[in-house]
Amino acid sequence: MIGRILGNRYEIIEKIGGGGMSNVYKAKCKVLNRFVAIKILRDELTQDPEFIDKFKQESLSAASLTHPNIVNIYDTGIEGDIYYIVMEYVKGETLKNYIKRKGRLSEQEALRISKQVGEALKHAHTNNIVHRDIKPHNILLTEDGTAKVTDFGIARAATSSTINNTSNVIGSVHYFSPEQARGGYVDDKSDIYSLGIVMYEMITGVLPFDADNHISVAMKQIQEKPVLPSMKVKNINITKSYEDIIMKCLEKHQSFRFKNIDELLKKLDSINGNIEQPKKTEEEIIDSPTVVIPAITGLEEENVINIDLVDENSDKAFKSFFGGEVDTEKQVETKKNNNNNNKKITIAAIISALVIALIGGVIGFKALMYVPEVPVPDLLGRSEAEAEDLIEGLGLGFKVSKREFSDEYDQGQIMEQSVDEGSKVKENYPIEVVVSKGAKEYMVPDLIGKYAIEAGFILKDAGLSEGDVKEENSEKFSAGQIIDQFPTSNSPAKENDKVNYVVSIGPKITYVKMPSVLNLNLETASLSITQHGLTVGEVNTEPSEDIAEGLVMRQSINPNQDVEIGTS
């Protein structure tokens, strides 16, 4: 599609998205010289005439919506077998990606987005348009944080005609209202329910209902009451007012929800949002922060203790400690000159000793702290026991971080290591490895009796994919049920192997020619009808001047007309 020009004005530049219903491209409008987004329907949807008719009708309705929180539709067109919609190009990201990136949103931010989506729905509902597929994937956030709702047209057209033959609508089952999951009546309160799930996901970062397959999720939407957001995730910061609004949106019965989107908006406007207090950073909670203190002045000289290592008293202390006699006052006087020389020698000796001790201490500390480095060997393909012996023999630590399936490595072999071969690490450094569980075994599930709408999900959950699908008549299975499959159930398979299956289209219909029973008596006419595989219907009597009494004068189905066997 890249480089193709649609409608003689839209040049396709690049693919920017896609889903189960369509692919989205960025294009340049050569007439107005602006960028647009073009949504092109997938080929399988264009084969359904009913879908195409509704798509055209709803696209026109959606194009009439003009609102700052709705992605504007500029144009629609058909070129060969390509059906496309030209929309406003929004530079930003989907709300789904935004939630994934942030984990969960603050109440204040969730409120802001909820109100903007609510305003978009209010405008649509005022124009008698129900979206039917509100989900974070269909909410775009511009670079300035404005929320814009998209996919109004496709959602409504798809709901009525593709539920039984595609998985696209079911793909949104996590956001479906209970009435949508049941296939019941859908109105603006269904959009309120879906918006409630979006609000729930924004504030918690998770969905209220999830399961291994889409059918189970749909059943939870119908039967289970959602857990309160404050109970779903620990340490969540949400006001009771906002939580109550979300839970009212998620009521199972439509009449228990907000009566319309306007009532919901008024409730949202009545709360301000719970503003989270900023957490202190590591720099703000340092035990001993650097502070400025005033200079300390005013100390008297006599109040300062003077420690002199070379005064007379210290010399006496040295002699006393080492057992020498303390000189008398007279001896001190006679040896005063010698003591002065000894003091200088003593000072030099002490300083030298300190320097030598310092150098020796540094060298000793380095020797004590030195840890030799060891090159890491290649462990890939080795057995777990061999790798462990090798690593521990080098004085390193060995740890199995996880075990995973692998088509490349046999069971028990090392398939990944945390440190590359040849890298040098300190002794006792832990080397983490991933051990292979061998090739994953896949078994073909039993599809017989299942409905075709389930087959894709069942096979995907089993790691397989759909193959050729055929249709045949069946007296035993209802239309839509699977009556045969290949490979058969419990057969071994490889990942993404295709499974072919046959879908029932109901009993085979046999046609017969309607016999003529005119001018026959009732008994003979009834016998002729039953002999042709038909049944006698209502018998009425009327007066006639032309036909004798007791004879058939008129029949409801003309003679020689093809009718289904068993018709009365």
The vertex-282 CA angle with 277 and 285, nearest 5°, equals: 80
Element (H, E) at 363: helix 336-369
Element (H, E) at 223: helix 214-223
d(CA 106, CA 237): 7
Residue 294: asked if its preceding bond is cis (omega within 30°), the reply is: no
SS (H, E, C) 126-158: HCCCCCCCCCHHHEEEECCCCEEECCHHHHHHH
For residues 516 and 496, the answer to whether their CB atoms sit within 8 Å is no
- Using CB atoms within 10 Å of the CB of residue 155, give its burial: 0 to 12 exposed, 13 to 18 middle, 19+ buried: buried
Q: Which of 444, 446, 441, 382 is nearest to 415 (CA)?
A: 382
Instruction: Classify each residue of 201-214 as buried b or exposed e, where b means 16 or more C-beta atoms within 10 Å of its C-beta.
Output: bbbbbeebbeeeeb
Residue 133 annotated to the active site: yes
Residues 6+ apart with CB under 8 A from 89: 26, 34, 35, 36, 37
CB atoms within 10 A of CB 238: 19
Tell me how far CA of residue 118 lies from CA of 75, 162, 226, 263, 506, in angstroms: 25, 27, 21, 10, 45
Sign for the pseudo-dihedral over CA of 174, 179, 183, 189: negative
d(CA 141, CA 139): 7
- Using CB atoms within 10 Å of the CB of residue 144, give its burial: 0 to 12 exposed, 13 to 18 middle, 19+ buried: exposed
SS (H, E, C) 38-76: EEEECCCHHHCHHHHHHHHHHHHHHHCCCCCCECCEEEE
Find the catalytic residue in 133, 151, 188, 315: 133
Half-sphere exposure of 250 (CA within 13 A, CB side): 26
34-41 and 73-79: which strand pairing?
unpaired
Which residues, in sequence order, are bridge partners of residue 139? 149
DSSP three-state, residue 389: helix
Instruction: Classify each residue of 40-58 as buried b or exposed e, where b means 16 or more C-beta atoms within 10 Å of its C-beta.
Output: bbbeebbebeebbebbeeb
Element (H, E) at 26: strand 22-29
d(CA 133, CA 137): 10
Residues 6+ apart with CB under 8 A from 517: 524, 525, 528, 529, 552, 555
**Amino acid identity at 322:** F
**Token code pair at residue 22:** 């369509």
Supply the residues annotated as catalytic.
133
